[in-house]
Structure 1
Amino acid sequence: MFCYQCEQTAHGTGCTEIGVCGKNAEVAGRQDLLLDVTKQLALHLSRRPASERRAAAGLIEEALFATVTNVNFEVERLDALIRTVAAAAGSRLPEAGDDLRALADAAGIPARRERYGADVTGLQELLTYGLKGMAAYAHHARRLGQVSAAVDDFTLTALAALADGEADPDRLLDLNLRCGAASVEVLACLDAANTGAFGAPSPAPVRLGHLPGKAILVSGHDLGDLAALLEQTAGTGINIYTHGEMLPAHGYPELRRHPHLVGHYGGAWMRQRVEFDAFPGAILMTTNCIQKPAPSYAERLFTCGPVAWPGVGHVAGQDFSAVIAAAQAAPGFTDTVSQGEHWAGFGHHAVLGLADTVIAAIKSGDIRRFAVIGGCDGSDTARSYYTDLATGLPQDWVIMTLGCGKFRVIGHDYGQIGAVPRLLDLGQCNDAFSAIRIAQALAGAFECDLNDLPVRLILSWYEQKAVCVLLALLHLGLRDIRIGPSLPAFVTPALLQILADKFAVHPVGTVEADLEALVA
């Protein structure tokens, strides 16, 4: 196997024996093969009528999402998806597992690096990971009834180009920037889906800790699954808690109207083995971020949607009766523990509702700058950089955070600047459109370019949705973006030079040096 699509890839170069995420060589090979047959389907559809292309868009999203880090680890489900995608492309695959492994080896990154070289393969992978991130966001939007023809069309175009062996660096760079344009579109589409279904987020306090009673913990990202679970548990006496990137769910009016959505338990995704072990109820993993479960909680852990782990119960559709039964059988909490509260719900609707106040504070000098510190979290100890940077910023800076990177920033009292809190939690990584919309609105108010705004971007990345967001920012022309805690292994020195020269993208440095540069 060879995989270098996540930030924590082994030795910073690539996982070759077992993935840091927990996938073995067989799972990694199936994901490579699934990606390859999906590219072939796109190439096949590029020659077919538009109606056929539209009909296959959901299947292509599902296939791409299954290959995102920490999503699907189950060979049988991957095999079924591989055969479904191949059949849609008019292909027949061998029945034997050994033959599938041979196909997977031919589809892997090492074969392409040998053919195209590391630099071209890196550009291909940058595009591929952007497409994977787009597919994840499009999947959430589609489940809530929102689709984008432009996103579907570009996904097919880009996958077909990759299937056809596109290796020209200039054309690949152009496709990456076009992926950025489609990424902006898909983020806007998801924003419309979430706000249309659950209302525009508004500031609300979220209890951190727990209350006595039976309990279900919901992790991942899918608000639709949470909404369905809340409806099915109404009146049962079971309390629902969010975990990880589900924390921003409390900002949505249609979700927090349920009184048994009682709070948030735990921190970011990579702490789940400890936190799930200590949680005395059922646990539902709705999208990516699953880790190998410990035996102590595996029987009360359930997956749904694109997520799968061997031996873990999987919920088909949104019938959560098995999850509810597991929660009723578990002991639940017997005491009350309060760990304070966190204010969620500062999406673009809420922040732009303060636009006059914010603009006046900028003009008066009370607010000097904004720092966007967010993205993915991970177990790398170097991620303490983001905590130290946030607490070290001057008191006249406002900090905007989103994604599970927020867990490196929250938990500190940053105070306020007049009526404006110094820490604004914009939501999930799925809510990245809020940061874009706020920046666009401020640029319009000040009649300036985005790069002339008093905004600094310091991003953390872990997996492919972060790549999608980065390409969106590059498409918008934003420059001077700091990325850490380390650069992607697929970004070769030559590719990094391109990103530095064209977009002023550069790695984070020391906290002291970066603070000095940011404040200057």
Structure 2
Amino acid sequence: MFCNQCEQAANGIGCNVSGVCGKKPEVAALQDHLLYGLKSLALYAEKIGRHPEIDRFTIEGLFTTVTNVDFDAPRISAMITRCYLLKEKAKDWAGITIPGDVAAWQPAADLQGRIAQGEAYGINSQHDNEDIRSVIEILLYGLKGMAAYVDHAMILGKGDDEVMAFFQRALAATTDPSLGLMDFVGLAMECGKQNLTVMGLLDNAHTGTYGHPVPTPVQLGTRAGKGILVSGHDLKMLEELLKQTQFKGINVYTHGEMLPAHGYPGLKKYKHLVGNFGGAWQDQAKEFTEFPGAIIFNTNCIQRPDDSYKDRLFTWGLVAWPDVQHIDGWDFSAVINKALECPDLPENPGKEILTGFGHNAVLGVADKVIDAVKSGAIKHFFLIGGCDGAKSGRNYYTEFAEKLPKDTVILTLACGKYRFNKLDFGDIGGIPRLLDIGQCNDAYSAIQIAVALAGAFGCGVNDLPLSMILSWYEQKAVVILLTLLHLGIKNIKLGPTLPAFITPNVLSFLVENFNIGPITTAEADIKAILG
């Protein structure tokens, strides 16, 4: 195997024995195989135009290959079968046979044969030129990340034909040997543009269904009684679970990226949504051991379960782990029954933290923010957030937040906020110095806030007293970065390390055009930004 798509790539190069994430070589090969099949499908999908079944499967297939989603080899093999059957249907509908090995793809009949095929379909087979291969990787990882956001939007009934056409066109393009470096640079930048549309769709889906988030204190302790812990990102899944657990004496807790759910009026109305347990995804093995109730993942980021909680762990949607019970559909009775069998959680009140500062909430007090900037009470804004991870070097983000002057405001989103969101930063004239915008899914809110502030001050976003200090881990962070680059945002600090799939020449392009750079130390970076 060779996999370098996440920040924890072994030795900063790539995992070639087993994934740091827990992915086994056979699973890596099957994911590469599925991606190859999606390219084959795309070649024919481009010819027939929009088809709901093909479009939906493309999203599911790409999301399946995102880091920490599906570790179950038989499930991925079943998706390969579905992909091939859809490709053959599309071929019949198109009424043509496209030349070339990719279009002629046919998976082996057995699992081992498919694994062997997948080993030949890895990223290093993508292109002989390392710079072109690097940009193809950026594009593919952008497509994977965007697929995750489209999946959430589709679950809530939102979609876009132009976006889906781009998925098929971009996947097909990766098989075209006539395309050069700048062709793929253009496609990567277009991926960022399309993702802006997707983020707007998802924001509309969330706020249209559950209302605009409002600043909400969230309890970090536990209440006496039965409990279910929900980890992941999907709000619709949480809503359905809340409906089914009403009046059953079960308290529901969020974990990881589910924390911002507490800010939505349509979800916080459920009184048994009582708090948040634990922190970011990489701490789950320790935290889940300490949670005696049932636990369910609805998206990434799952890790290898400890035996102490594996029998009360469930997966839903596209996330899966071997020998962990998977819930298909919307019936959560198995999770509920397990929660009722489990011991009670103790009465253990904890501190409260605030979430719910989406763009509607922040822009609702924009006049106060603008006045504070004009008066000098607020000197600078820092967007500190992104995907968290387990590898060393991420304490930088805690130190950075702690060492910022008290006349600065921190905007944060995604699970990177767990590095500092329990600290007390105080306020500036009643404006909290730490504003939790939400999930990585809510990057659209951060963009809207920045654009609105730029409009208020009559300048460009790059001219604002705003700096972006981003952490990345997996492919959703890649596509958000592409969106920021599409918008022309410069001077982004990225860490804790730069992606292993970016070659020196591609990095030089990013530095020259966007002044993107790696983090150094908290003190040095703060000094360089503030002077």
Q: Would you say same fold, with TM above 0.5?
A: yes
Residue aligning to 1:480: 491
Alignment TM-score, normalising by the size of structure 1: 0.98
Aligned to 2:101: none
Normalising to structure 2: TM-score of the pair? 0.96
Q: What is the distance in 2 between the residues matched to 1:101 and 1:423?
A: 47
Deviation at 1:381, TM superposition (A): 2.5
Match runs of 1:85-104 below 5 Å: 85-90=83-88, 92-104=106-118
* Paired letter, 1:26: E
Unaligned ranges ≥5, structure 2: 89-104
Instruction: Tell me the percent identity.
Output: 51
Secondary structure, aligned partner of 1:89: helix
Out of 430, 440, 444, which is 1:433 matched to?
A: 444
What amino acid is the match of 1:337? N
Give the Cα–Cα distance (whole angstroms) in 1 for the partners of residues 53 and 68 of structure 2.
27
Equivalents in 2 of 1:165, 1:84: separation in Å?
A: 27
1:146 correspondence with 2:158: yes
After superposition, the C-alpha distances for 1:37-65 in whole angstroms (9 at most, x for unaligned) are 101111111111x243x442111000000
Question: Which residue number in structure 2 is paired with residue 18 of structure 1?
Answer: 18
Distance 2:524 2:217 in 1: 35
**1:332 matched residue in structure 2:** 344
Q: In structure 2, what is the Cα distance between the partners aligned to 1:419 and 1:149? A: 44
Instruction: Indicate how the Cα distance of structure 1 residues 338 and 165 shifts in structure 2: closer, same or farther if over 3 A, else same.
Output: farther
Equivalent residues of 2:29, 2:116 under 8 A apart: no
Q: Which residue of the other structure, out of 271, 280, 290, is the alignment partner of 2:292?
A: 280
The 5-angstrom pairing of residues 32-431 of structure 1 reads: 32-48=32-48, 50-52=49-51, 54-90=52-88, 92-112=106-126, 115-165=127-177, 167-333=179-345, 335-431=346-442
AA of the residue aligned to 1:94: A
* SS at structure 2 position matched to 1:263: strand
Alignment match, 1:515:
526
Q: Distance in 2 between matches of 1:94 and 1:382?
A: 43
Instruction: Say if 1:116 and 1:167, in contact at 8 Å, map to a contact too.
Output: no
Runs of 4+ in 1 over 3 A off after TM superposition: none
The structural deviation recorded for 1:362 is: 1.1
Contact 1:357–1:419 at 8 Å: present in 2 too? Answer: no
Question: Do the aligned partners of 1:245 and 1:404 also contact (CA within 8 Å) in 2?
Answer: yes
Name the CA distance, whole Å, in 2 between partners of 1:370 and 1:316: 43
Over residues 98-131 of structure 1, what are the superposed CA-to-partner deviations in whole Å (9 max), with x where a residue is unaligned? 321232122102223xx42322111100000000
Asked if the contact 2:27–2:72 (Cα under 8 Å) also holds between the matched residues in 1, the reply is yes
Residue identity opposite 1:346 in structure 2: F
Instruction: Say which SS state the counterpart of residue 411 (structure 2) adopts.
Output: strand
Distance in 2 (alpha carbons) for counterparts of 1:101 and 1:80: 13
Shift of 1:364: 1.2
Greater Cα offset, 271-280 or 163-172: 163-172
Q: Give 2:99's aligned residue.
A: none
Q: Distance in 2 between matches of 1:51 and 1:490?
A: 32
Q: Does structure 2 retain, via aligned residues, the 8 Å contact 1:36–1:163? A: no
CA distance in 2, matches of 1:51, 1:241: 39
Counterpart CA distance in 2 for 1:166 and 1:404 is 40
Contact 2:50 2:165 in 1 (8 A): no
Q: Distance in 1 between matches of 2:252 and 2:422?
A: 22
How many residues align structurally? 515
Instruction: Quote the Cα distance in structure 1 between the aligned partners of 2:190 and 2:361.
Output: 30
1:260-285 CA-partner distances (Å, limit 9, x unpaired): 00100001000001111111100000
> 2: distance between equivalents of 1:503 and 1:217?
41
Distance 1:422 1:244 in 2: 22
Q: Secondary structure at the match of 1:93?
A: coil
CA drift at 1:465:
0.2
| Cα separation, 2, equivalents of 1:3 and 1:165 | 22
